[in-house]
Chain A
């Protein structure tokens, strides 16, 4: 398990051309998480969720602020990352893809890899290439790869967003089952409120500009099914928070208020 501490994280990207301003993707994001917890980071597209995940994983560095991820012993944590796309080596088989990120090829490692392939339901597909697999199956390989390194912290960046609804629903249920069995520390990024309510024990809402907006505990019992009224009620509650966030955004930025009013008028004419 891991301890993640993000302290006033700011990330700016240089302007793509001379006449454009610097892009401030994160603006002082703060939070902590630790232990056997499934945390979802929810926000509208472009609010900086994936950027934050890239900073946590080390792919990006923050402009200011700090992010530390340590394990129970206080040493740098081992990370697993499930990306939006599977990011498999197309010229290596499923088994070779998972072995690519392992520390060794011992019998223990091979057994562990096969165990996680079995957990995600891909036993028998070890010798297939990624192009032989459907998108859902490729994503499962990505999940097995992330779990097989037995990470202290598992990062997931909208892993089901590229899949069709049926496959995504199946994989969400499987992920719940996997988490019940493994109890990893998971940081899950999504823009889908239903997904966050279904999967996580804590929901952090990030506003536009990469700022903390709200932080909720989700104490609903597992498994959480989409048709469960309690899940739907919580989803409505979270969506209300988003509407509040949008309302505040309109107050602060008159251009957004004008655009919202124009859209509202067009709808009422019809």
Chain B
């Protein structure tokens, strides 16, 4: 008989234990610090805990106040923090003419909107809208090339190791060079106009998109590729049903990064060498020491990028991942991330696609 067998025999876990003896044993359990430091019985500790919770949960007169509830809610706290920041900023701005203020910034934006661009004023023909349109047009043109180049190259790099070997160093250099170097080069070569910002967007944003797409190709499940190969699925159907959905996460992340980088490049080129656009306007007011003007156009830059991200890219992100919502959400903890080994079927989700 082994030692383990003997130990099991001696401590047969199946013997019943008298509950009275157990309680007595717990009560007689001695603590190192003696009875003075011995904690109370479990019932005593539970009662103390419940009393403490009751004290914290006791309703006060303030809890019934809707204004107080609004202020202390999550949304209320966020709005309150923004209000406080704006108030502090306004007060700080009074200290110096060189410091922009929120009210001054908004006032300047209104003036830009009221100033005609070329010819008579209209809702579209004013400094604010026309300069935004110029910048957006440049960004859109550049990003179109970024996507047309970045997605196929990234995919090809993931698909064939020779292509990856060919492009790796170029992508690394593209990532390493700061955007302002490309901006300076572009202005020297192309001068004012559309070409310089488009070129800068393409060379600055494409490497990042390529890296994301390349990572996305690694995310295509090998077993699904094998299944596709066995059944002889045509290439187009494979791209639509396997490649793009597998890469969707990395693709959206790459496009998001490209949009952020691209917009920044456009503004940068316009700052240094352009005759129109958001960046040009910001530089113009900076040179005239009008800091409310500078802040106003900086605010325009922020609002546009937030709008594009929240309204366009996030919606695309939700759409390409809508199947996850139908099966219980994102992440490894969701039902979509779990394997099942038998048992009853899970009831259909009401948000089925």
Residue numbers of A with Cβ under 8 A of B are 54, 57-59, 79-81, 83, 85, 87, 89-93, 96, 100-101, 125, 127-129, 131-138, 149, 162-164, 166-167, 269-270
B339, CB-defined interface residue at 8 Å: yes
Contact A132 to B348, CB < 8 A, known contacts A89-B224, A90-B336, A91-B245: yes
Expressed in whole angstroms, the Cα–Cα distance for A83 and B224 within the complex equals 11
- Taking a contact as CB atoms under 8 Å apart, the answer to whether A132 and B242 are in contact is no
Indicate whether B223 reaches chain A with its CB closer than 8 angstroms.
yes
Which residues of the partner chain B approach A89 to less than 8 Å between Cβ atoms? 224, 241-242, 245
A-B contacts, 13 of them at CB < 8 A, read: A81-B230, A81-B231, A87-B223, A87-B227, A89-B242, A100-B233, A127-B352, A131-B338, A132-B345, A132-B347, A134-B345, A136-B342, A162-B341
Choice from B223, B231, B346, B348 contacting A85 with Cβ under 8 Å: B223
**Taking beta carbons and an 8 Å cutoff, which residues of B are in contact with A?**
2, 5, 223-224, 226-227, 229-231, 233, 237, 241-242, 245, 323, 326-328, 335-336, 338-349, 352-353
Q: How far is the CB of B323 from chain A (nearest CB, A)?
A: 4
Q: Are B336 and A93 in contact (CB under 8 A)?
A: no
B223, A83: Cβ atoms under 8 Å? Answer: yes
A134 touches B342 (CB 8 A): yes
Q: Are A128 and B352 CB-contacts (below 8 A) given A57-B230, A100-B237, A136-B342?
A: yes
B187 nearest CB across to chain A (Å): 45
A79 B340 Cβ-Cβ under 8 A: no
A-B pairs, 5 with minimum CB distance: A164-B342, A131-B327, A101-B231, A167-B342, A91-B323
A57-B230, A87-B227, A129-B326 are known contacts. Are A135 and B346 too (CB-CB below 8 A)?
no
Q: How far apart are the CA atoms of A63 and B345 in the complex, in Å?
A: 43
Contact of A101 among B226, B233, B328 (CB under 8 A): B233
Tell me the smallest distance from the CB of B341 to a CB of chain A, in Å.
5
> Cβ of A83: which chain B residues have Cβ within 8 Å of it?
223, 227
Interface residue SS majority, chain A: loop
Partner pick for B352 among A100, A101, A129, CB 8 A cutoff: A129
Q: Please, which residue of chain B has its CB at the minimum distance from the CB of A124?
A: B348
Q: Which residues of A contact B347 (CB under 8 A)?
A: 132
Query: How far is A42 from B340 in the complex, measured between Cα atoms in Å?
Result: 26
Question: In angstroms, how far is the closest chain A Cβ from the Cβ of B229?
Answer: 6
- The listed residue (B327, B339, B342) touching A132 by CB distance below 8 A is B327
For the complex, what is the distance from the CA of A92 to the CA of B240, rounded to whole Å? Answer: 11
Question: Chain A: which residue is nearest B336 at the CB level?
Answer: A131
Taking A83-B227, A149-B231, A164-B341 as known contacts, 9 extra A-B pairs with beta carbons closer than 8 A to each other, sorted by chain A number, are A87-B226, A89-B241, A89-B245, A91-B245, A96-B241, A135-B341, A136-B342, A162-B341, A163-B341
Q: Is the CB of A134 within 8 A of B233?
A: no
A134 lies within 8 A of B344 (CB): yes
Complex: A164 Cα to B339 Cα, angstroms: 13
Residues on the A chain within 8 Å of B226, using CB: 54, 59, 87
On whether the beta carbons of B231 and A129 are closer than 8 Å, the reply is no
CB distance from A89 to the nearest CB of B (A): 6
The smallest beta-carbon distance between B306 and chain A, in angstroms, is 29
Cβ contact within 8 Å between A138 and B245:
no
Nearest-neighbour CB distance to chain B for A238, whole angstroms, equals 26
Contacts of B341 in A (CB 8 A): 135, 162-164
Give the chain B neighbours of A132 by CB distance below 8 A. Answer: 327, 335, 345-349
- Do B346 and A90 touch across chains, with their CB atoms under 8 A apart? no
Report the bound CA distance from A167 to B233 in whole Å: 30
Neighbouring B residues of A135 by C-beta, 8 Å:
339-343
Let me know if B340 and A138 touch, CB within 8 A. Answer: yes
Question: A87: which B residues are within 8 A, CB to CB?
Answer: 223-224, 226-227
Within 8 Å CB of A133, what residues of B?
340, 345-346
Taken together as a complex, chains A and B put the C-alpha atoms of A54 and B226 apart, in Å, by 9
Tell me whether A92 and B348 are in contact (CB under 8 A). Answer: no
B336 proximity list for chain A (CB < 8 A): 90, 129, 131
Complex Cα–Cα for A83 and B226 (A): 10
Q: Which chain A positions have C-beta within 8 A of B328? A: 131
B343 and A134 within 8 A (CB):
yes
Task: Give the residues in chain B near A128, CB-CB below 8 Å.
Answer: 348, 352
> For A125, A137, A269, which residue has the most chain B Cβ atoms within 10 angstroms?
A137
A91 to B353, CA, bound (A): 10
CB distance from A162 to the nearest CB of B (A): 6
Contact A59-B348, Cβ < 8 Å, known A129-B326, A162-B341: no
Q: Within 8 Å CB of A129, what residues of B?
A: 323, 326-327, 336, 352-353
What's the Cα separation between A102 and B176 when bound, in Å?
Answer: 46
Q: Which residues on the B side are within 8 Å of A79 (C-beta)?
A: 230-231
Given contacts A85-B223, A92-B241, A164-B342, contact A131 B335 (CB under 8 A): yes
The chain A residue sitting closest to B323, CB to CB, is A91
A265 to B76, CA, bound (A): 74
Q: How far is it, in angstroms, between the C-alpha of A93 and the C-alpha of B349 when the chains are bound?
A: 12
- Are B340 and A81 neighbours in the complex by a CB distance under 8 Å? no
Which chain A residue shows the least CB distance to B227?
Answer: A87
Query: Of all chain A residues, which has the CB nearest B338?
Result: A131
Closest-by-CB residue of B relative to A131 is B327
Q: How far is it, in angstroms, between the C-alpha of A57 and the C-alpha of B223 when the chains are bound?
A: 13
Complex CA distance for A163 and B223, rounded to whole angstroms: 19
